């Protein structure tokens, strides 16, 4: 790895850590906007994104463990754990060009939903909706390390208390990210280079988290999210074409 890649990883990690601290999610989505453009393989990008997310969400899950709505999140976790292994396997065999096209479509659709429909649609906290959310999240997590949107959409509607929501979503991401990482290790995706890249990116995440804490109260998180979603649309279009 040359110094340019190291600087890029730190910058991407800083942006991801900042966004995660300010908005409560989005680390993996942010990293997957950029990593596939300069890493050697799409699977390497997804693996690094999952490792960075695993580290941050595990910390938060332990810190807020008393506030987790375990009964509500359990069906989501079970369903996701069933679907993650085949999704990870599929991500290994799919050609890089097809992977980027699929990821581009996913980024565009997710962005359009959050920009235009997130505040208009309320999803009922039923067992079926929890299983459906876990299914979509597991598939997206195994393929692209972007498991967040389905889980966020469901849990933000199902849990109205902010601390309980944050704790529950972090616990969900912790379990699914660690499991996804284990599947990638089994499939031979995570190599010593991936660990090194992730360690460098984690330096950036800590910097971004520190900055996010300092400026959290001064930022308009809604405007920040819209900027991120527009960036996702642009990146998705680039990947698609």
* 23 pLDDT above the threshold of 70: no
Into how many domains does the chain fold? Answer: 1
DSSP per-residue string spanning 69-131? -HHHHHHHHHHHHHHHHHHHHHHHHS-HHHHHHHHHHHHHHHHHHHHHTTTT------HHHHH
Question: Is 200 a domain residue?
Answer: yes
Condensed to tens digits (0 to 9), the pLDDT of residues 213-240 reads: 777 666 665 666 676 677 677 777 776 7
Residue 44's pLDDT band, with cuts at 50, 70 and 90, is confident
Residue 59: give the domain boundaries: 44-240
Question: Is 122 a domain residue?
Answer: yes
Question: Is 140 a domain residue?
Answer: yes
Question: Is 2 a domain residue?
Answer: no
Question: Is 199 a domain residue?
Answer: yes
Question: Is 230 a domain residue?
Answer: yes
Pairwise CA distance, residues 233 & 230, whole Å:
5
Write down the mean pLDDT value for the chain: 83
Condensed to tens digits (0 to 9), the pLDDT of residues 141-186 reads: 888 777 777 888 888 788 878 788 888 988 998 999 899 889 889 8
Helix axes 148-158, 70-93, angle to 10 degrees: 170
pTM, full prediction: 0.79
Q: Are 81 and 176 in contact (CB under 8 A)?
A: yes
Question: Is 15 a domain residue?
Answer: no
Question: Is 6 a domain residue?
Answer: no
Torsional sign, CA 20, 94, 188, 239: negative
């Amino acid at each position: 790895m040359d110094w340019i890649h190291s600087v890029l990883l730190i910058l991407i990690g800083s942006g991801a850590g900042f966004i995660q601290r300010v908005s409560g999610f989005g680390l993996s989505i942010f990293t997957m906007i950029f990593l596939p453009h300069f890493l050697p393989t799409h699977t390497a990008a997804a693996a690094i994104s999952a490792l960075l997310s695993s580290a941050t969400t595990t910390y938060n899950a332990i810190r807020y463990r008393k506030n987790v709505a375990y009964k509500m999140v359990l069906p989501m976790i079970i369903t996701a754990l069933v679907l993650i292994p085949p999704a990870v396997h599929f991500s290994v065999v799919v050609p890089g060009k097809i992977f980027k096209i699929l990821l581009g479509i996913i980024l565009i659709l997710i962005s359009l939903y959050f920009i235009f429909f997130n505040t208009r649609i309320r999803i009922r906290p039923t067992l079926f909706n929890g299983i459906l959310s876990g299914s979509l999240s597991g598939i997206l997590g195994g393929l692209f390390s972007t498991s967040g949107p389905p889980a966020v959409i469901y849990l933000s509607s199902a849990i109205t208390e902010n601390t309980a929501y944050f704790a529950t979503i972090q616990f969900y991401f912790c379990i699914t990210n660690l499991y996804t990482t284990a599947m990638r290790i089994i499939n031979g995706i995570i190599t010593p280079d991936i660990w090194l890249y992730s360690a460098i990116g984690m330096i950036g995440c800590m910097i971004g988290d520190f900055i996010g804490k300092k400026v959290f109260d001064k930022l308009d998180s809604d405007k920040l999210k819209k900027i991120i979603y527009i960036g996702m649309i642009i990146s998705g279009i680039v990947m698609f074409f």
